[in-house]
Structures are given as structure tokens and as C-alpha cells.
Amino acid sequence: MKLIKSGDDVIVLAGKDKGRRGKVARVMDDRLIVDGVNMVKKHTKGNPQAGDPGGIQEKEASIHISNVALFNPKTKKGGRVGVRVNSAGKKERFFNADDSAVD
């Protein structure tokens, strides 16, 4: 089971966007795309057949999964996440600090 999934609210722990929060748009193995975080400028060539004018476009670059933490709304900070089996026999994620379920 993955500790951070698409759609989770995360906080950035390291890098130029340290302290910023955002939703995970996509998970790719050990890297994530977070909405509005780690923005880079990409120079694109225009394509008149596709109607693309080209120019400088801003987009989100990936960030390593170790540089983000799942945002805990109870403590208003990033929290460490563990996995346990609940009474129904299903795996669930939980915050290690306060033992509350994530989902």
C-alpha cells in the first residue's frame, strides 16, 4: 500500500517551495506532481497545424516523495504515516503521532 496517494493534501518539507501545501495530482513510483508546487518554465516551439502558438509556458515539475509529508488537519502540520490492518481485515493508513486514520 502506498503511503501517499493521488488526491492527498501534502506539505513540502525541502526545496524552494518548503512549507507550501498542495494536492497530489499524480504519483509516479518515487516522484509526485503536486498542484502549484515546483513550477518550472518550459520553452515550447509553436505548431501551426495544431493551433499551438508556442512560447514560454509554466508547468509543475515532479518532486521526490521523500521531500513531502501528508498534511495532518488535526495538528496542522505534516505527519508520518503508517499502515495497519483494521478489525475488518483491510489495510488503512494512519498518522503515527496521534494514531488517527488518514482516510
Q: Are 63 and 38 in contact (CB under 8 A)?
A: yes
- The domain total for the chain is 1
∠ CA 63-61-24, rounded to 5°: 60
Does residue 94 belong to any structural domain of this protein? no
pLDDT digits (tens, 9 = 90+) for 57-86: 999 999 999 999 999 998 899 999 999 998
Phi, psi for 67 (deg, rounded to 5): -95, 5
Neighbours of 5 (CB within 10 A): 14
Distance of alpha carbon 34 from alpha carbon 40, whole angstroms? 13
Task: Say yes or no to pLDDT of 103 above 90.
Answer: no
CATH classification at residue 61: 2.30.30.30
Neighbours of 82 (CB within 10 A): 13
> pTM for the complete prediction?
0.82
What domain range includes position 60? 9-73
Helix (H, G, I), strand (E, B) or coil at 11: strand
pLDDT digits (tens, 9 = 90+) for 2-49: 899 999 999 999 999 999 999 999 999 999 999 999 999 999 999 999
Does residue 79 belong to any structural domain of this protein? no
